[in-house]
Amino acid sequence: MTTPLIKVEGLRKSFNGQPILDGVDFEIYRGESVVVIGQSGCGKSVLLKHIMRLLEPDEGRVIFDGQDIGKLSGRDLNEVRLRIGMLFQSAALFDSMTVAENVGLCLKEMRRHTHAERNRIVMEKLELVGLTDAASKKPDEISGGMRKRVGLARAIATDPEMLLYDEPTTGLDPITADLINDLIIDLTQKLDVTSIAVTHDMTAAYKVASRIFMLYEGKIEFDGTPDEIRASDKATVQQFITGRAKGPIKVR
């Protein structure tokens, strides 16, 4: 595997004149499981949205499997998007549909499966996240943590090659969180899914990651394995992973 699955080059994005991403560069290869950490508001969600091209960069490129996604449109872009699954920080469930319809929507629109096959896949994915009982409920009838898991089931419904998880375990109890972390590890190890997960949970980060990126002041401040990050002598990195309010990073 010599060509990276995802390559981000010189990505810059400002909102209202304030730079959020200020030259982000990285490469991720097939089978890697990357965890992105960083302060709240530092641009982690914005970074994931650029990979799905939900936001247009001010400068820089995102290259997925050799294709510059900034140059794609219409059907070509949709085809790339179908190869990537995304769990939104807010879950972003369709509130007019039931849980099962949410999970099955993408399959339905792909029109490659019979009705029965689709139902089977939907139930299988809901079982993976422990939510078979909620299948016929509407999103506003379930809890925040349940919505997150439905979002996860929806993201993996089409068995994408790559998954983007925006805080998959935030709002979950420790046991359910561990179930989700195991699921993410399983997807990576058994199905060879490449993933980028944003998390604030360092235990989960060490458990899930093959590589950890720390985003700080619009750039990748650190890029290395969990062991390397623990051994890092950068003050910013140590402050963040040990969780101290005092240090070079200021809470804005």
Partner 1 sequence: MNYGVEAIGRHSVSLISRIGSFFILIGRLIASLREIHRSFGLILEQFYLVGLKSLPVIVVISIFVGAVSAWQAAYQFKFIGAPPRMLGQGVGKAVVMELAPVLSALAFAGRVGAGITAELGTMRVTEQIDALHSMGINPVRYLVLPRVLACLVMMPFLVIFANFVAIMGALVVSIVGVDITYETFLNGFRDSFKVGDFINGLIKAGVFGLVIGVVGCYEGFSTQGGAHGVGRATTTSVVLSMVLILVFNFISAVILFRL
Ligand X SMILES: Nc1ncnc2c1ncn2[C@@H]1O[C@H](COP(=O)(O)OP(=O)(O)OP(=O)(O)O)[C@@H](O)[C@H]1O
Q: Which residues bind partner 1 (CB under 8 A)?
A: 49, 52-54, 74, 78-79, 81-82, 84-86, 88, 90, 92-95, 105-106, 109-111, 154
Minimum distance, C-beta of residue 77 to partner 1, in the bound complex (Å): 8
Q: Give me the least distance between CB of 111 and partner 1, in Å please.
A: 8
Percent helix, strand, coil in the chain, to 5, is 40, 25, 35
Residues 39-78 close enough to bind ligand X by CB under 6 A: 40-46
Rounded CA-CA distance 96/62 in Å is 33
* Least spacing, CB of residue 48 vs Mg ion, in Å: 8
State which residue, 105 or 123, has the beta carbon closest to partner 1.
Answer: 105
Closer residue to Mg ion in complex, CB, 15/159? 15
Q: Which is nearer to partner 1, 78 or 242 (CB)?
A: 78
- The encoded tokens of residue 163 equal 């998954």
Distance, CA of 214 to CA of 239 (rounded, Å)? 12
CB of 228 to partner 1, least distance (A): 31
Residue 164 or 229 having the CB closest to partner 1: 164
Instruction: Tell me which H or E stretch contains 103.
Output: helix 99-110
Site string for ligand X, 78-107 (x = CB under 6 A): -----------x------------------
Task: For residue 133, give the DSSP letter.
Answer: G
The reply to whether 144 sits near ligand X by the rule CB under 6 A is no
CB of 171 closer than 8 Å to CB of 179: no
Rounded to the nearest whole angstrom, what is the least distance from the CB of residue 44 to ligand X in the complex? Answer: 4
CB-neighbour burial class of residue 171 (10 A; exposed 0-12, middle 13-18, buried 19+): middle
Residue 205 Cβ vs ligand X, minimum distance, rounded to whole Å: 13
In this complex, which beta carbon is closest to ligand X, that of residue 33 or of residue 45?
A: 45
> Residue 46 binds what, of Mg ion, ligand X, partner 1, none (CB under 5 to 8 Å, by partner type)?
ligand X
Tell me the pairing of strands 67-68 and 59-64.
antiparallel
Interaction residues for ligand X, span 153-212 (CB under 6 A): none
Q: Is 20 in the site for ligand X (CB under 6 A)?
A: yes
Residue 95 CB, nearest approach to partner 1 (Å): 7
User: Cα 237–42–37 angle (5° rounding)?
Assistant: 45
Q: How many CA atoms lie within 13 A of 16 on its CB side?
A: 0
Return the number of the residue (43 or 226) whose C-beta is nearest ligand X: 43
Q: Six-digit token pair at 68?
A: 């510059």
Please, are residues 52 and 86 in contact by the beta-carbon 8 Å criterion?
yes
**Radius of gyration for the alpha carbons in the chain, expressed in angstroms and rounded:** 18
